[in-house]
Amino acid sequence: MRAFRVSRPNATPELTRIETPEPGPGQIRVAIRACGLNFADLLMIKGTYQDTPEAPFTLGMEVSGVVDSVGPGVEGLRPGDRVAVYAGQGGLADFGVFEATRVVRIPDSMNFEDAAAFQIAHGTSHIALDHRAKMQPGETLLVTGAAGGVGLSAVQIGKLMGATVIAQARGRDKLEVARAAGADHLIDAEEDLRARVLELGGADVVYDAVGGDTWTAAFRACRPEARLLPIGFASGEVPQIPANHLLVKNLTVIGFYIGGYLKFRPDVVRSSFETLIGWITEGRLKPHVSHVLPLERAGEGLGLLRSRKATGKVIITP
């Protein structure tokens, strides 16, 4: 079968042929129909992601497809089932073998592109805003990097949860994408973020995918008792948090990493995915996919993420 592989850290991934794997106990093999790309894939190539597999390995963290084969001990799944899998790796290939515990069945009405697009971005936003920040209807949510895959999902889910959403992104085109996703207020990355947010009354919840100076400005635009979620560091700068400022305004900084929940509270991830699948099939939520490319163009897809030319998700279809 074909697989888009990393042979060693910092090596350019290549499409190559490897043996089709067989499922072991508790595993299933999936004929992959779609795979979502993530910024974490770029970090894995460099070997700097916290869950980077040992090379050589196949890239691709979130997949959808059809169960092709079932290993010993697997119950509730059979060949022909349509599924979504938070795989962690192995998705950029014709077939993949995954732990059955990471699999969620998807309805016939859900297309494979949406099933591969929602898992990490929308799962991260839903669990972060609902389970961790416990955001309430009527609160004000500030989303930075709001046109990226994770940021855009936070805009959508924030609106579904009843928040007033302030979206920050770079350039009019990206801001219009955020507006279409439901943002109530738009702030260009070139503007004074702190001043603009304070003009709008301040933020109750900050969902920051950028870090650096953007985090600092958002931090200073919080209302008392606000909750801040440092989701990512697209700027390349991990912010340092002044604890004395937390005290003055009674702020809470909340750590969250969806991959960690797969290890100690997988039930939280599964419950979130089931909620999100319901919203998608009901037409209340639609993952934004800016590019759909074949497996032969997976490198081009990663380049779109690297250059920040994509909005929402880039999907690869073997």
pLDDT, position 82: 98
User: Would you state the structure tokens that stand for residue 58, as one six-digit string?
Assistant: 């196949």
Q: Mind giving me the DSSP string for 70-101? A: E-TT--S--TT-EEEEE-SS--SBSEEEEEGG
Name the class of domain 2-118+287-317: alpha beta
Residue-level pLDDT, tens digit, the chain, 318 residues: 999 999 998 899 999 999 999 999 999 999 999 999 998 999 999 998 888 999 999 999 999 999 999 999 999 999 999 999 999 999 999 999 999 999 999 999 999 999 999 999 999 999 999 999 999 999 999 999 999 889 999 999 999 999 999 999 999 999 999 999 999 999 999 999 999 999 999 999 999 999 999 999 999 999 999 999 999 888 888 888 988 989 999 999 999 999 889 888 988 998 999 999 999 999 999 999 999 999 999 999 999 999 988 888 999 999
CA distance 44 to 59: 8
Phi then psi for residue 58, to 5 deg, are -100, 130
Tell whether omega for the bond before 53 is within 30 degrees of 0, i.e. cis.
no
Asked if 67 and 30 touch (Cβ cutoff 8 Å), the reply is: yes
Q: For domain 121-259, is the CATH number 3.40.50.720?
A: yes
pLDDT in tens, 25-51: 999 999 999 999 998 999 999 998 888
> Where in the chain are the domains?
2-118+287-317, 121-259
The candidate with the shortest Cα–Cα distance to 49, out of 6, 97, 103, 98, is: 6
SS3 24: coil
- pTM exceeds cut of 0.85: yes
Strands (E), the chain: 2-6, 14-17, 27-36, 57-58, 62-70, 82-86, 95-99, 103-105, 140-143, 164-169, 185-188, 203-208, 222-230, 252-253, 289-294, 313-317
pLDDT of residue 242: 87
